[in-house]
Structure 1
């Protein structure tokens, strides 16, 4: 079970790196890529539904939340019918106990283990190409996405997504209250991010850096949950 959870977190982290990570820093928001894929909720029991969406980075534009263009179950194949597209997006419905038991047998899981439904998703890219990612929705138990609260930016708790103004050429401290079992990624298209993969990071906007853009944070929990927040930010 630990190995499955670890592989899920690694897959999510790889989505964040995305294409072109050898050119742009991993914290750079001004880049065409899938930043994070979210299932709401990430773990569901029989009869519950989970909706899939993503946070997409775009060159020269703010990030957007988007539904997949396409989605397909990779495994277990016996549960391919659990995924369905509706006019409002892509949804997973957790099947009944007998189907879950058959899927556990297919995957070699214990009778009480959650079943990882691996889904390949695609999203349109800014250059008219396609970005592809992997999302795992866990079936057989319930959990919700993490709650991003409080978020402290420059000494202030940010409860809204209102625009943030910071001083140039100073360390702007960023903090979220998560321990090392969570994967935290701070992102920006203004200035330079430092310690981007820690719960406590800092942003610095030098005169030669972009003076305005977006600031974001993505948090992934050990159970496959994902949450994000975004703010317009400028240095003045």
Structure 2
């Protein structure tokens, strides 16, 4: 009953916004697009300034302007838009989003105001062992994940990509920034390509302890893999952790 009342007022609030502004929202001073099909909760969070608040705060506080960025889990491209706004004009930004149904919205937001070629969006899932993987679409855009993680919803097949392949696509920079929120899928990196972390200058990662545990891992093991390759925790808010090479950022 409580959720029914909550959704009732959200529907009124979001409906009023859409009638006036369409699919456009203000996010940290930036105009972004969010279709109503993304989910009532997502639209409401954008309206109230709560959308990915911890991740956005960490990006604003710590992301360097000069480092090329690999962003795992672009979703609607809202956070991607914020990242792009923090980077120097020609600094490369590679966004990865698995859901083909939202990738065009992701691309619109991520590349808005970007110079040609500075931001690229890849429609794929981070995954190892096969060129295609099963991906579960949840009730809203933030409940999508690789199948087999306990999520319920429609299953589709998507292309896959590795972190090393993304690094090559970015131009194989000596160092890059990693921004990631892929519902626990990050754990695959420490299992399959842990040495790629040696190329990471700063990581801003939303961790998912329950998803890690479901894969037989843990938050401690995940963070230890970063620490072993020279990254130390410099900030944290909730489940969003910032790790950097000591004295470099």
- Tell me the TM-score normalised to structure 2 length: 0.23
Highest relative contact order (Cα 8 Å, sep 6+), 1 or 2? 1
Point out the structure with the larger helix share: 2
Point out the structure with the larger strand share: 1
